[in-house]
Chain A
């Protein structure tokens, strides 16, 4: 049950776009369209931003989008805003009936 692979950190200036990758295997990310993305501000509850690879829950800005190709999923944030600065995690269902999270990516808005 190894963690999905995410870059430790990404950064961008306000207004720019960034993409965070989430690499897994054919037993998790590649096996199902059950990839979700979460925004986590330290000390607060994580927030679901994307589910089922590319769907946004009600209330989440359309600046957030998700995609997947093979064993790698991606989260793109366009029009970066200062409030987007947070930790971001992906997770995926796996063929062993468990859930695997990525190691997390710290987004810095310059």
Chain B
């Protein structure tokens, strides 16, 4: 059974940093592109970043470019999201998701999400 479990969320002050993890199991993690998608409570889903299967190519939404970094450790079956210079508008539930094929946004499995709250 495919499972994605996010962790690392919590309360952080504006300007601070946080690292989210997404532990994958039930599939060959190293064969799949992975995404981070966020949702401000009460609002819609917004794509944030993606990384290809071997970690050599990353894509970023303009809103997080220069502040967020996506990475992966295929030996540990884990996806990461390093978030720096956090702002109040980064407050959201962050989901990791597996791409069904390639890296085109066909997200066939999702985690339950990890809430990040940026507030003083």
Kindly state whether residue B95 has any CB partner on chain A within 8 Å.
yes
**Nearest residue, chain B, Cβ from A94:** B105
Partner of B107, one of A32, A46, A52, A92: A46
Query: A residues near B, CB below 8 A?
Result: 1, 3, 32, 34, 36, 38, 40, 44-48, 51-52, 57, 87, 89, 91-93, 97-104
Q: Summarize B's interface: helix, strand, loop or mixed.
A: strand
Question: B84-120 toward A: CB 8 Å interface, digit per residue (1/0)?
Answer: 0000000000010100100011111111110000000
In the complex, given contacts A45-B113, A98-B59, what are 7 additional A-B residue pairs having Cβ atoms less than 8 angstroms apart? A32-B104, A36-B105, A44-B112, A46-B97, A52-B106, A89-B44, A99-B50
**A34 / chain B contacts, CB cutoff of 8 Å:** 104-106
Bound-state CA distance A52–B105 (Å) is: 10
Check B47 against A101 for contact (C-beta < 8 Å).
yes
Nearest first, the 7 closest Cβ-Cβ pairs linking A and B are: A99-B105, A104-B44, A45-B110, A99-B47, A93-B104, A34-B104, A51-B106
Partner of A103, one of B44, B47, B59, B109: B44
Kindly state whether residue B46 has any CB partner on chain A within 8 Å.
yes
Bound-state CA distance A45–B105 (Å) is: 16
**B1 / chain A contacts, CB cutoff of 8 Å:** none
**B59 / chain A contacts, CB cutoff of 8 Å:** 97-99
Check A51 against B112 for contact (C-beta < 8 Å).
no
Kindly state whether residue B11 has any CB partner on chain A within 8 Å.
no
Partner of B104, one of A40, A44, A48, A99: A99
